[in-house]
């Protein structure tokens, strides 16, 4: 059920289902209602790919998008976006929800482009993923200062992100963070940093990548006026949560793409090769 927002509203619901077919994963269901769109391009790997986009090039006041994803047992899926998630002026607010279920020994990689909130935007999102035994998850979440070149640096009204990942009823991650000028002017609070990211790796398919990244980040020195600040938080023996704050989106994306350099090998094809 989609809750109503005050003022004009565009509610878009999309459903994606992936299943194993022989050695490959295929898209079983791809259904979207405006303003959401789904694209399911072919690739050379064993995983299936899907990209989301919205009519109009971004979210406007009252938009509420919900994406429901099912990855069947043994399947592998990449879910990304066709471009940045632009959030326009929205005094009443807009939101986006992802609800995903990942089957036994399956893999989901959710690697969208950055969220860019314009002046006077109000935006909230939820990322809710349920993992079956043996399931693995790659999840990236990036937010930028906005259109800094136009003087709109951290000029939005509200940004909130809720992340919850659970396996067999036990929460591995359950957090919510908020950027709101009501708590203090954002440009002053965020200082020189123009982009923030979280990268989450969970599950047995990512064991080697987690161990390598944890070792790399643990050895990084903390330098004054660094172009980026990085942290890593182990989640028991099954997960790793990486965070980075960077002085520019370009610096941040270079770092997160480096962290995810294992992904083409895991999928059998490179999702970024066509976008360079």
Residue 155, domain member (yes or no): yes
Residue 69, domain member (yes or no): yes
Residue 70, domain member (yes or no): yes
Residue 1, domain member (yes or no): no
- Distance CA(9)–CA(13), nearest Å, equals 13
Q: What is the pLDDT of residues 29-50, one digit of tens each?
A: 999 998 889 999 999 999 999 9
Q: What is the pLDDT of residues 80-89, one digit of tens each?
A: 999 999 999 9
Q: Which residue has 């979210």 as its token pair?
A: 59
Do the Cβ atoms of 111 and 117 come closer than 8 Å? no
Q: Going by DSSP bridges, is the β-strand pair 63-71/24-32 parallel, antiparallel, or unpaired?
A: unpaired
Residue 215, domain member (yes or no): yes
pLDDT of 143 reads: 97
Q: Report CA torsion sign: 181, 183, 188, 192.
A: negative
Note the pTM of the prediction, 2 decimals. 0.93
Mean pLDDT of all residues in 108-135:
97
Residue 117 domain boundaries: 11-265
Residue 243, domain member (yes or no): yes
CA angle, 198 then 226 then 119, to 5° = 55
Do the Cβ atoms of 215 and 223 come closer than 8 Å? no
Structure tokens given for 99: 């609800």
Residue 33, domain member (yes or no): yes
Q: What is the DSSP string of 191-207?
A: TT--EEEEEEEESGGGH
Number of domains in the chain: 1
Least confident of 1-15, 52-66, 200-214: 1-15
What percentage of the chain exceeds 70 in pLDDT?
95
């Amino acid at each position: 059920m989609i809750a109503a927002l005050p003022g004009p509203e565009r509610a878009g619901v999309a459903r994606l289902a992936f299943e194993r077919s022989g050695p490959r994963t295929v898209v079983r269901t791809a259904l979207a209602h405006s303003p959401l769109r789904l694209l399911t391009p072919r690739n050379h790997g064993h995983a299936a790919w899907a990209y989301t986009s919205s009519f109009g090039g971004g979210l406007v006041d009252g938009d509420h998008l919900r994406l429901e994803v099912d990855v069947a047992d043994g399947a592998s899926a990449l879910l990304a976006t066709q471009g940045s998630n632009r959030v326009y002026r929205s005094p009443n607010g807009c939101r986006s929800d992802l609800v995903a279920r990942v089957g036994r020994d399956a893999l989901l990689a959710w690697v969208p482009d950055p969220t860019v909130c314009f002046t006077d935007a109000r935006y909230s999102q939820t990322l809710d993923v349920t993992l079956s035994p043996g399931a693995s998850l790659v999840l990236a979440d990036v937010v930028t200062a906005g259109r800094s070149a136009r003087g709109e640096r951290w000029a939005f009204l509200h940004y909130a992100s809720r992340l919850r990942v659970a396996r067999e009823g036990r929460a591995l991650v359950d957090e919510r963070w908020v950027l709101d000028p009501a708590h203090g002017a954002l440009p002053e609070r965020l200082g020189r940093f123009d982009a923030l990211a979280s990268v989450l790796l969970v599950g047995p398919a990512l064991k080697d990548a987690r161990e390598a990244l944890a070792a790399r980040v643990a050895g990084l020195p903390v330098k004054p006026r660094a172009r980026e600040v990085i942290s890593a938080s182990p989640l028991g023996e099954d997960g790793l949560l990486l965070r980075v704050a960077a002085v520019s989106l370009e610096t941040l994306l270079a770092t997160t793409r480096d962290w995810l350099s294992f992904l083409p090998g895991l999928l059998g094809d490179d999702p970024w090769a066509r976008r360079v």
